[in-house]
Structures are given as C-alpha cells and as structure tokens.
Homo-oligomer: A and B are copies of this chain.
Amino acid sequence: MLVEGENYRTVWMEGSVVKLINQLKLPREFSVFSCSGYRDTADAIRSMVVRGAPAIGATACYGMAQAALAGVSLDVAEKELGTTRPTANDLQDAIKHFKKNFNGKNAVEVAEGYANKSIERCRKIGEYGEKLIKNNSKILTHCNAGWLGCVDYGTATAPLYIAKQKGRNFFVWVDETRPRLQGAKLTSWELMQAGIDHAVIADNAAGYFMKKGEVDLVIVGADRIAANGDVANKIGTYGKAVLAKENNVPFYVAAPASTFDLKAKTGKDIKIEERDENEIHFVENTRVTPAKSKARNPAFDITPMKYITGLITEEGILNPWEKPESLL
C-alpha cells in the first residue's frame, strides 16, 4: 500500500537483511527496522516491531531464509522463530512452508514466494469482501487486521481498500483497542494514508454506536480459527461480536485459509497468551494505576462460531461453520 505516495510492504529482504516497517514507532514516525540475522528477526517478532498473524508468518519465513543463508541449522532456527509468539497459526505454517520448499539454495525465493502468496490471498479477501460494503456503509473494525498486520492489503481492511479503489464511499469506526492501541495507532494511520473517512472510538463506545444504528457491518481479523469455526482474535473481539448479534449487525471475520487450525477442535483448544501486566499499568510510558496495584492482561479471546455471520477468505465468503475447500 502507499505511504505518502510510495509503495510499501510490511516486510521485505535486501541482501541478507530483513526489513520491517517499525510498527512500534507508528503513527508518530514512519521508519524501517533492519534485522541482520534470524535472531534479530525473532526479537523483532517478539517485541512486536511486526505484529498480525500473516505479517508474523512472512517475517518468520524471511527469518528462516536468513538462517539458511547463514548456514544455521533449520531446526535451530525453527526453535527460535517458532516460539516468538504463542497464538498465531501462520507462524508455524510459514516455518513449515520454508522447511518443505527449501532445496539448499533457494532461500530467498522460498520466502519471497511465501510473501507474494500472502499478498495475493489478502487481495482476494478484499475482492470477495468488498461486496459487503455498500455506498454510505458504516463499518466497525477492532484492532489492526490491516496491511500492517499482513504483507499488503490486510485482512479485515482488504475489503475497505478494494471498495475504495472501486470508488465507493463509506465510513469506518476504529476501536482504539486497549491495551496496545493498535486501532488508534495503526488502523487509523492506514485509513488516513488511504484517504478513507473514519473515527477512532474507545472500545467502550462500540456498543453505543451499534445500538444507535450507526454500525452496518463489523469486520475483524483472526489469529486462529478452530475446526468448529470458533475464532481467536484480539481481546475484545468476543464482546463486539456479542454486541453485534444483540443489535442485529452482521459480524464478519476476514482471514486467509492458513488461519484455520483444524487440530484445534474448538476455541477451548486454543491457548490464550496472557501478556505482561505492565501493558495495563502503563500507557505510553506513564503509569496510570497506583504503584503496586495488580492487573491481568489476556491478549486474545475466543468468539464462538454462533456470533459470526460469515468468514471472508481468499476462497470466498463462507458460512461460519464451513472450512475453506483447500483444507478439505
């Protein structure tokens, strides 16, 4: 997508260096983060320089290519890169893809190929999903399932970008998405770069606007989808889904087939990452809670299938109990 007029992806390789848009600096500063080895790349995933399941997947694949170029054992690299984040299925998927397709000399091509396929999947999600967006629609989204979370286009945002390219007018409600504020910081930045009209709201206000009839459609991303259609996504997704159902607002999950984890029978089989409680205590380096108070910080939640209207995948829009054909 364009950043001040220039075309960018979230992750790419120059020589043996993996380059990432530094998402920890956005929206204040647009800068590129360089990882000279696979361990730096693992650190970048861990510290959330890059985040979002497909972007993590592509970054890990480039990290595997770095390890291969440096002559590091792929098993050693897998151990390092594969344990950087616990929830994203794409991470494992990407590492497996690399190990399967690497023939001893095609490291960069394998990673490039993986990234290009990821982009093509997102573009298709956009093509299918844009049909849901009518002129003057008001769409709510949670967190950043945007192109910054992918390699390009995004998942939840792909329908928005394609609809915009097709000249449609619409408005987006952006949940700020505490604790890490990815909506306020990243989704709003993406939408501004794309010239899409939007407003950031407190997570607490989503239900208010739904009840007022000011939300026509919710589109969110997914970090993992269980075999029964339960969806693991950013904390707060479950609450928005319940509110959407209560207010008869269609609730769509946009995700590529790689997000499905059929080994997880239901959402109960998906491990939820609980992150450092300081993400609650501190906002932008200022402590907001009293010293010594306690906090809890689950990073994801499970939205049961029954709250979901449909799954927007690169293979079409599915009913929430269906799986992409390629997985059958």
Contact = CB atoms under 8 A, between A and B. Distances in A.
Interface of A: 27-28, 173, 176-179, 181, 184-185, 188-189, 192, 198-209, 211, 234-236, 238-239, 242-243, 246, 272, 280-281, 283-298, 301-302
Contacts of A204: 177-179, 203, 234-236, 239, 301
Contacts of A242: 207, 242-243, 246
Nearest to A302: B211
Interface centre among A185, A290, A297 (most CB of B within 10 A): A290
The 9 A-B residue pairs with the shortest CB-CB distance in the complex, in nearest-first order: A204-B236, A207-B239, A27-B290, A284-B286, A208-B301, A178-B202, A200-B295, A204-B235, A199-B294
Contacts of A184: 280, 288-289
A199 B286 CA distance: 18
Contact of A198 (B202, B287, B293): B293
A25 to B, nearest CB: 12
A289 B236 contact: no
Given A202-B236, A284-B288, 16 more contacts: A176-B280, A179-B202, A181-B288, A185-B288, A185-B289, A192-B292, A201-B280, A203-B203, A204-B235, A205-B297, A205-B298, A208-B298, A209-B296, A246-B246, A284-B286, A286-B286
A199 B296 contact: yes
Contact of A178 (B178, B208, B291, B302): B178
B239 A202 contact: no
A181 B200 CA distance: 17
Given A192-B292, A200-B294, A296-B199, A238 B301 contact: no
Nearest to A238: B207
Contacts of A27: 289-291, 293
B301 A207 contact: yes
Nearest to A186: B290
A119 B204 CA distance: 30
24 contacts: A27-B290, A27-B293, A176-B289, A178-B204, A188-B289, A188-B293, A199-B294, A199-B295, A200-B280, A201-B296, A205-B296, A205-B297, A205-B298, A207-B242, A208-B301, A211-B238, A239-B239, A242-B246, A283-B283, A283-B286, A284-B284, A284-B286, A285-B286, A286-B286
Nearest to A208: B301
A290 B192 contact: yes
A276 to B, nearest CB: 13
Contact of A208 (B208, B209, B235, B285): B235
B281 A284 contact: no
Nearest to A143: B204
A51 B42 CA distance: 46
Nearest to A290: B27
A236 B189 CA distance: 25
Contacts of A203: 178, 202-204, 236
